Amino acid sequence: MSHDCSKGPFWFSSTDSVEDELEMATVRHRPEALELLEAQSKFTKKELQILYRGFKNECPSGVVNEETFKEIYSQFFPQGDSTTYAHFLFNAFDTDHNGAVSFEDFIKGLSILLRGTVQEKLNWAFNLYDINKDGYITKEEMLDIMKAIYDMMGKCTYPVLKEDAPRQHVETFFQKMDKNKDGVVTIDEFIESCQKDENIMRSMQLFENVI
């Protein structure tokens, strides 16, 4: 089944005709699912209807695979290479690890990123950094994510960066976060460090810019 998501991110599409009854018909067969999602997310039913219509419009199969996700992301960051970051981000959205992001997966992630508490956002960020999902962040995992962000932002954003800038960034962060010096960062260490350190927190805001 083809995924026609090449026209740009559907969640930024126009919502001018949202009141049109015919357009609303697309969500009528799923009222229970929408009500459940409304309870599980921080979106209103009307917002969910708009998002769902866009999602189905762009991806009629109802799921986004990793390749489609990468295509969508590359439109946001034409000045850099977003492939690796989009891969990590896809895995964070794909909570049941079945290789596809459903509308439910998408809404749960988006709800946290746009309207979640600081704690919820940090939990989500930890999951993103924890590439192999073993409950710990290693220095290598943090470096992989950081390199992916630098690649995505491109040389125009950071023209004077040296090649080892991501590694220096990670060394500083990791030393601050790894409180007991066991070589890995737990979720508690991660959240505590982010909440106590303004610089780390400011860097974490980067996620809101790249998502």
The pLDDT score that the predictor gives to residue 155 is 62
DSSP of 103-145? HHHHHHHHHHHHH--HHHHHHHHHHHH-TT-SS-EEHHHHHHH
CA end-to-end span of the chain? 26
64-113 pLDDT per residue, tens: 999 988 988 888 888 889 999 999 999 999 988 899 998 899 899 999 98
Q: Which CATH architecture has domain 117-210?
A: Orthogonal Bundle (1.10)
How much is the pTM? Answer: 0.76
pLDDT bin (cut points 50, 70, 90) of residue 203 is: low
According to CATH, the topology of domain 32-115 is Recoverin; domain 1 (1.10.238)
For the chain, domain boundaries: 32-115, 117-210
Q: Where are the beta strands (DSSP E) in the chain?
A: 63-65, 100-102, 137-138, 184-185
Q: Of the candidates 134, 115, 112, 114, which has an alpha carbon nearest to the alpha carbon of residue 123?
A: 112
149-185 pLDDT per residue, tens: 888 887 655 555 566 778 888 898 899 999 999 999 9
